[in-house]
């Protein structure tokens, strides 16, 4: 006689989770405002000068974020300042219809194809999980790798609506929402797994602390957190050392590390990752510093 009651309780928990989840917009069909980066025209030289100034300036400029978006989308009045920059020197950063699509397709090429097997490996760590959130999902590749492991409930979260639109078109089986890693709108213990790829090195340290607190909150007891970030090896090793250890591939990643402007990466590489995660209530299970990626798997402690 008790079994139906247990089943009803589980169903109620599931219903409560669904009712408290962030709203999933119709990203595939949403009409996002065009920005200056979408209006580049080499034939009429429209915004061509602005393009070259964006590409060849020192550091990251500010992204020109539209004044208004469709209802339900975070705009420049809500987004933290660190997100309103031209990441990696990309013209208008993550705020354009066209250039964000190019960035998604070019990323794996820039990384010489090394990230696809890394994503696949990370996804295998979550076998047996049912509810996994990918933070900073960008074009959705990591979320898709999780889906390939037959994880039923996969979510992707990113602050850029333009990246989310491309991700939703490419991977309609994933639930994509706009949001901030440091202010997740999910209920406590909502997930049994979280992934974060190439996210934390883009954040000021105080926001990393907030994001890890949020990861701890929305993870169930024993839930897994996987982190993948650029390795410190290509940033700190000398040219000859990189060549001896990795050949011309090492030289390429050494050049890339110093060519692409990353304002917060030095602060990230100063962190003791195990101590950082321990401080936020996680036990580190795997800490693998490779080249060009550094992967970490941690588990939420019971206390």
Mean pLDDT of 126-146: 97
Those residues with Cβ within 8 angstroms of residue 253's Cβ, 6 or more apart along the chain or in another chain? 234, 242, 246, 291, 292
- CA pair distance 74, 169, nearest whole angstrom: 20
Per-residue pLDDT reduced to its tens digit, 247-278 = 999 999 999 998 888 899 999 999 999 999 99
**DSSP 8-state secondary structure symbol assigned to residue 151:** -
Q: How confident is residue 1, by pLDDT bands cut at 50, 70 and 90?
A: very low
Tell whether the model's pLDDT for residue 43 goes beyond 90. no
Helices (H), the chain: 3-20, 48-56, 98-110, 115-124, 141-147, 161-170, 205-218, 233-236, 239-259, 265-270, 273-279
Architecture of domain 113-300: 3-Layer(aba) Sandwich (3.40)
Find how far residue 69's CA is from the centre of its chain: 22
Per-residue pLDDT reduced to its tens digit, 158-168 = 999 999 999 99
- CA pair distance 267, 242, nearest whole angstrom: 22
pTM: 0.90
The domain spans of the chain are 44-109, 113-300
Q: How confident is residue 20, by pLDDT bands cut at 50, 70 and 90?
A: confident
Token look-up 């440091």 returns 182
- CA pair distance 99, 260, nearest whole angstrom: 17
- CA pair distance 297, 303, nearest whole angstrom: 18
């Amino acid at each position: 006689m008790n079994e139906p009651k247990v089943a009803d309780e589980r169903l109620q928990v599931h219903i409560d989770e669904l009712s408290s989840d962030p709203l999933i917009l119709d990203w595939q069909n949403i009409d996002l405002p065009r920005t200056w980066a979408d209006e580049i025209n080499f034939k009429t030289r429209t915004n061509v000068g602005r393009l070259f100034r964006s590409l060849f300036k020192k550091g990251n400029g500010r992204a020109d974020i539209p004044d208004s978006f469709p209802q339900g989308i975070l705009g420049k009045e809500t987004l933290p300042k660190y997100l309103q920059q031209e990441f990696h020197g990309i013209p208008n950063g993550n705020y354009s219809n066209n250039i964000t699509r190019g960035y998604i397709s070019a990323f794996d090429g820039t990384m010489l194809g090394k990230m696809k097997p890394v994503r696949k490996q990370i996804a295998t760590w979550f076998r047996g999980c049912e509810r996994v959130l990918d933070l900073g999902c960008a074009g959705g590749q990591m979320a898709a790798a999780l889906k390939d492991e037959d994880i039923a409930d996969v979510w992707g979260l990113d602050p850029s609506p333009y990246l989310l639109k491309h991700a939703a078109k490419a991977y309609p089986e994933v639930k994509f929402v706009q949001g901030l890693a440091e202010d997740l709108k999910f209920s406590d213990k909502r997930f049994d797994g979280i992934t974060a790829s190439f996210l934390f090195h883009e954040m000021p340290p105080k926001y990393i602390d907030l994001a890890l607190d949020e990861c701890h909150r929305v993870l169930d007891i024993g839930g897994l957190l996987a982190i993948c970030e650029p390795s410190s090896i290509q940033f700190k090793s000398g040219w000859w050392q990189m060549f001896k250890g990795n050949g011309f591939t090492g030289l390429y990643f050494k050049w890339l590390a110093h060519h692409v402007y990353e304002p917060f990466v030095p602060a990230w590489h100063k962190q003791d990752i195990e101590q950082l995660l321990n401080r936020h209530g996680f036990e580190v299970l795997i800490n693998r510093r490779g080249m060009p990626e550094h992967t970490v798997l941690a588990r939420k402690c019971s206390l």
